[in-house]
Amino acid sequence: MTDSTELSTAANWIRQSSSILIAAGAGLSASAVNPQYGVGLDYTSVAAFRQLYPRMTQVSTMRCMYDAIGKHDWTPELMWGYLFTHVDKCRFNWGSTSVYQDLKQILSNKPIDSFVITTNADGMFEQNKFDMTRFLSTQGDYSLLQCLKPCSQQSVYEARPYIERALPHINPQTMEVPSKYIPQCPRCGGSMFYCVRGGEWFIESAFDNQRHRYRDFLHRAIDKKNDLFTIIEVGVGFNTPSVLRWPMDKLVSEFKNVRLIRINMHAPDVPVHARKEKRTIGFDGDAAQIIRQLRDMVIA
């Protein structure tokens, strides 16, 4: 049971703020249950993987979606058969989910300056029709492919046409795609991969515009010293803490007009000094439930 006093304090911060930042990690998408599949997009869940990709448990050593990251012991045909299927299902067709819609309602309750920053490359905010001019995807986006060399910083391409060409030819039994559908860089003919932070090859400049807009937002929110600026951080753990977790700790520790609402089932701890000043609260319950309760209080 979540402390109702803390919940109403958090809801008041949101109501009184003129700027709100949503900082989202893997835990948010894990709680985004797709009604058709009955599971959230939880990369570490064996049950979700079995439900979404029953054949993959037969034809590969994979046990969960996270196992695809850095996986080397599969053929390019199986790798692309899986990756095309996965990105089609999750990046483009997961659709609208309650927890994302609740967050959107929190932001649209009244006119405020808002922004979303996320380490999730799954495009869930776009699928839930958030304002994409107020959005930064720090680790890349599965909707883009890029050259793996890369032969140029411009070698970034929409993934959708490659996926649409390949999907009808993926063998549902073996999960393999014929090699002629494996994407090659149109510039140099070399190997491609999704435009995500998977190594030195990541073409981060594809997200420069998003990053500039995020910096502008932060400056505006921090500069308004007499206005509250609330950060709602959801499901951000310690996989890549230097990207979201520590920067959010730093913001609430450094700037007195910042409030930090941290929702994290496993690691809800918050910076001590800011906690003593009653400017941050950590919730360790289910993200979807807490966000629903916050939404109900905020829009009441």
Residue 213 makes CB contacts below 8 A (sequence gap 6+) with 115, 133, 134, 136
Nearer to Zn ion, 59 or 151 (CB): 151
Identify the CA nearest to 231 among candidates 88, 17, 67: 17
Question: How near is the Cβ of 185 to Zn ion at its closest, in Å?
Answer: 3
**Minimum CB–partner distance for residue 195 and Zn ion (Å):** 12
Q: Is 90 annotated as a binding residue?
A: no
**Is 151 labelled as part of a ligand binding site?**
yes
Longest CA–CA separation in the chain, Å: 61
E strands within 224-279? 228-234, 258-263
Has 188 been labeled as part of a binding site? no
Q: How is residue 205 annotated by DSSP?
A: G
Residue number with CB closer to Zn ion (64 or 188): 188
| Closer residue to Zn ion, CB minimum distance, 4 or 152 | 152
Which residues here bind Zn ion, judged by CB under 5 A?
A: 147, 151, 155, 185, 187-188, 190
By beta-carbon proximity to Zn ion, the closer residue of 28 and 147 is 147
Count the residues in the chain: 300
Given the complex with Zn ion, which of 185 and 248 has the nearer CB atom? Answer: 185
Distance in Å, CB of 191 to Zn ion, minimum: 8
185: annotated binding-site residue? Answer: yes
Q: Say which residue the tokens 């941050």 belong to.
A: 280
Secondary structure class of 89 (helix, strand, coil): helix
Can you point out the beta strands (E) in the chain? 17-24, 113-118, 135-137, 140-147, 156-158, 192-196, 228-234, 258-263, 280-283
Binding-site residue positions: 147, 151, 185, 195
Binding-site residue positions for Zn(2+): 147, 151, 185, 195
